[in-house]
Structure 1
Amino acid sequence: MPNHAPHGFARTERVSGQIRRDLAILIRDRVKDPRVGMVTLLDVEVSKDFAHAKIWFDVLQADQGLDAQTALNHAAGFLRRELGHLLKLRMTPALHFFYDDTQSRGNALSVLIDRAVASDQHPQEDAATDTDAP
Structure 2
Amino acid sequence: MSKIRAGRVGEQIKKELSQLIQSGLKDPRIGFVTVTGVDVTNDLSQAKVYLSVFGDEEQVTGSLKAIEKANGFLRSELGKAIRLRHTPELIFKIDESVAYGSHIEKLLGELGKNEES
Normalised by the length of structure 1, the TM-score is: 0.78
User: What displacement does 1:112 show?
Assistant: 2.2
Q: Is 2:24 the partner of 1:30? A: yes
| 8 Å Cα contact 1:62/1:104 also seen in 2 | no
Distance 2:93 2:64 in 1: 6
* Aligned counterparts of 1:114 and 1:11: Cα–Cα separation in 2: 41
Report Cα offsets for 1:24-82 as digits up to 9, x if no partner. 00000011222221111111111222221110111122523232222211111110011
Residue of 74, 94, 99 corresponding to 1:99:
94
Secondary structure of 1:10's match? Answer: helix
Count of matched residue positions in the alignment of Structure 1 and Structure 2: 116
2:46 corresponds to 1:52: yes
Kindly name which structure, 1 or 2, has the bigger radius of gyration based on alpha carbons: 1
Any stretches of 5+ residues in structure 1 without a counterpart? 123-134
- Identity among equivalent positions (%) equals 34
CA distance in 1, matches of 2:70, 2:104: 33
Asked if 1:10 corresponds to 2:4, the answer is: yes
**Alpha-carbon deviation of 1:91?**
1.1
2: CA distance between counterparts of 1:107 and 1:98?
A: 19
- Give secondary structure in 1 for the equivalent of 2:48: strand
Number of the residue aligned with 1:66: 61
Q: Name the SS for the 1:58 alignment partner.
A: strand
> Pick from 87, 108, 111: which aligns with 1:113?
108
Q: Cα RMSD over matched residues?
A: 1.7
- TM-score of the two chains, using structure 2 as the length reference: 0.88
